[in-house]
Amino acid sequence: MKKLLAIALMLIMLVGCFAGCGASNDDTLIMATNAAFPPYEYVENGEYVGIDVEIATLIAKELDMKLEIKDVEFGSIIGGVQSGKYDIGMAGMTVTEDRLKSVNFSTSYANGIQSVIVKNDCPYASYEDFYTGFDADGNPKGVVEGIKIGVQQDTTGDIYCSSVPAEWGFGEENVIRYKTGADAVQALIEGKVTAVIIDNEPAKAFVSVNEGLKIQSTEFANEDYAIAINKDNEELLKKVNDALAKLTESGEIKKIVDKYIK
Ligand code: GLN
């Protein structure tokens, strides 16, 4: 009898875990994000707000589901979506060839730019001046001694900057990775890095609240933001794309973007 009770208990615990531990609880859409990325996702008065948060709320509504937000490290979002821990990853996330090997992406709902933040008195007018010169094909030969670039770890800014100069990076040795964009900007203020390369909208937000910083006029890269979804969940991908199409058509997405980006 005791044995039976123990087995029954184990079964109950297992079922409970399936319902509670995994992502796909039928009526809850679990969104993984990194809420330190204004104006896409950030915390205000103890609440998650921002473009992604509002779009995800509308998508969940379209899907007749309840949205649950998990604030995690940016670098753990793709893995969590891939393992089924989260239903969607939405974090101003750029579509890249490499990420597409691990997850599917919805249709893109926004454009991103990698911008260069420097101090007002920075002697370099453009990131191109961080290089020592260019070869016959026009690619950088090397990086000026002493140049250090701050990035938010695991982002496209980090990936591009960490590649070699010949591929328009600055070399691993000249890149310092920070947990958040705000930490990278703090390092710039303290003179630990020459520049921070990060998505344009958070760059604008950081510059507006910190005196003595500016964004260089040359864009470092141009990219598309989309929602990451598990490769095996084609059904959710379709539903999310349908919802995005509907919300774009009705003007809802533009309304949200215009509210946050002036
Ligand atoms: N767009 C960048 C990326 O996808 C940064 C996103 C972020 O920091 N939330 O890597």
Would you give per-residue pLDDT tens digits along the chain (262 residues)?
555 555 555 555 555 444 444 455 679 999 999 999 999 999 999 999 999 999 999 999 999 999 999 999 999 999 999 999 999 999 999 999 999 999 999 999 999 999 999 999 999 999 999 999 999 999 999 999 999 999 999 999 999 999 999 999 999 999 999 999 999 999 999 999 999 999 999 999 999 999 999 999 999 999 999 999 999 999 999 999 999 999 999 999 999 999 999 8
116 close to ligand 1 (CB < 6 Angstrom)? no
User: What residue's CA is closest to ligand 1, atom 10?
Assistant: 155
Give residue for tokens 């991103």.
112
Rounded (10°) angle between helices 51-62 and 234-249: 110
Question: What is the reported pLDDT for 4?
Answer: 57
94 Cα nearest atom in ligand 1: 4
Q: What is the pTM of this model?
A: 0.87
- How far away, in angstroms, is 80 Cα from ligand 1 center? 16
Contacts of 149 (CB under 8 A, 6+ apart): 130, 161, 170, 174, 175, 176, 193, 194, 195, 196, 197
Question: What is the reported pLDDT for 18?
Answer: 46
* pLDDT tens-place string over residues 151-195: 999 999 999 999 999 999 999 999 999 999 999 999 999 999 999
d(CA 217, CA 128): 12
- Let me know: does 115 contact 247? Beta carbons within 8 Å: no
- How far away, in angstroms, is 134 Cα from ligand 1 center? 29
Structure tokens at 241: 């794309």
CA geometry: angle at 55 spanning 49 and 61, to 5°?
A: 110
Question: What is the reported pLDDT for 226?
Answer: 98
**SS3 of residue 116 by DSSP:** strand
115 close to ligand 1 (CB < 6 Angstrom)? no
- How far away, in angstroms, is 212 Cα from ligand 1 center? 24
206 close to ligand 1 (CB < 6 Angstrom)? no
- How far away, in angstroms, is 1 Cα from ligand 1 center? 55
**SS3 of residue 207 by DSSP:** helix
Count the neighbouring beta carbons within 10 Å of the beta carbon of residue 169.
Answer: 19
CA geometry: angle at 184 spanning 55 and 85, to 5°?
A: 45
Chain-centroid distance of CA 56 in Å reads 14
- Among 170, 140, 144, which Cα is nearest to 158's? 170
Question: What is the reported pLDDT for 262?
Answer: 84
- How far away, in angstroms, is 154 Cα from ligand 1 center? 8
Structure tokens at 105: 């992406």
Question: What's the Cα-to-Cα distance from 257 to each of 21, 79, 111, 158, rounded to whole Å?
Answer: 33, 28, 11, 25
Question: What is the reported pLDDT for 41?
Answer: 96
d(CA 114, CA 72): 22
- How far away, in angstroms, is 156 Cα from ligand 1 center? 6
If one residue of 151, 154, 155 were mutated to test the ligand 1 pocket, choosing by the most ligand atoms within 8 A of its CB, it would be: 155
Question: What's the Cα-to-Cα distance from 71 to each of 23, 41, 117, 124, 132, rounded to whole Å?
Answer: 14, 10, 26, 36, 40
91 close to ligand 1 (CB < 6 Angstrom)? yes
Question: What is the reported pLDDT for 13?
Answer: 53
93 close to ligand 1 (CB < 6 Angstrom)? yes
93 Cα nearest atom in ligand 1: 4
Burial 21-54 (b: 16+ CB within 10 A, else e): eebebeeebbbbbbbbbbbbbbeeeeebbbbbbb
158 close to ligand 1 (CB < 6 Angstrom)? no
Question: What is the reported pLDDT for 146?
Answer: 97
- How far away, in angstroms, is 184 Cα from ligand 1 center? 14
Count the neighbouring beta carbons within 10 Å of the beta carbon of residue 3.
Answer: 7
199 close to ligand 1 (CB < 6 Angstrom)? yes
Question: What is the reported pLDDT for 20?
Answer: 43
- How far away, in angstroms, is 25 Cα from ligand 1 center? 27
